[in-house]
Structure 1
Amino acid sequence: MKIALIAHDKKKDLMIEFTKKHRDYFEKHELYATGTTGQLIIDHTQLNVHRFKSGPLGGDQQIGALISEELMDLVLFFRDPLTAQPHEPDVSALIRLCDVYNVPLATNIGTANYLIEYLNAR
């Protein structure tokens, strides 16, 4: 599977802990991430991650392009719903693309855990 990992600033620590917890699962798949999130995942897990630009600099759009080309299987996007994001239109577009192309999307840790545990059991 091709899996995108994205996290807003206040959710990056949560993404790191999540990828550490599920490292065995993630190492079997192709991982993609926005810039800073990807580097943090690499630094803390040594997983191989293809990094795009940071979200506000177009990373969300780069992942969206893969979704529109039907080249992404799963998106895990830990959003911070309580902080205004300067690139909110890009975030909305990414979520919309997941819906258009039927790509499973988790925007919080509860859904992400459920999806990974379900997929890992298959």
Structure 2
Amino acid sequence: MTRIVMLALMAGWAGQASAADLGLTLPLSTDATITAARYQCDDGRDLPLRYVNAGGNALAIIPLEGEDLIFVNVVAASGARYVAGMWEWWSKGDEATLTRAGEPGITCKTTADPAN
């Protein structure tokens, strides 16, 4: 019974938090890296990304649909695969594929200017 009440309370808090702006703080160790990259996609998108590697955390921050989405690294047979909700970012070398669930992937290639 206590667990159900706690889950209900947590669900209520989550609902309230989704309406507010939230920040995410990730403590970075001295060996953590943040790398900027820029990709030009076949559909005309220009994507400035930031890759964050901090200990066991590997993230890609990608601007999509008017907001910065945080993609989390997941297991991949080759390359680096990141997911955020219905989105997948799979990179290998100078190329990457951006896929939204149920839609064909978009091929993207790195550009010389990584400035964000």
TM-score by length of 2: 0.25
Higher relative helix content: 1
Higher relative contact order (CA 8 A, sep 6+): 1
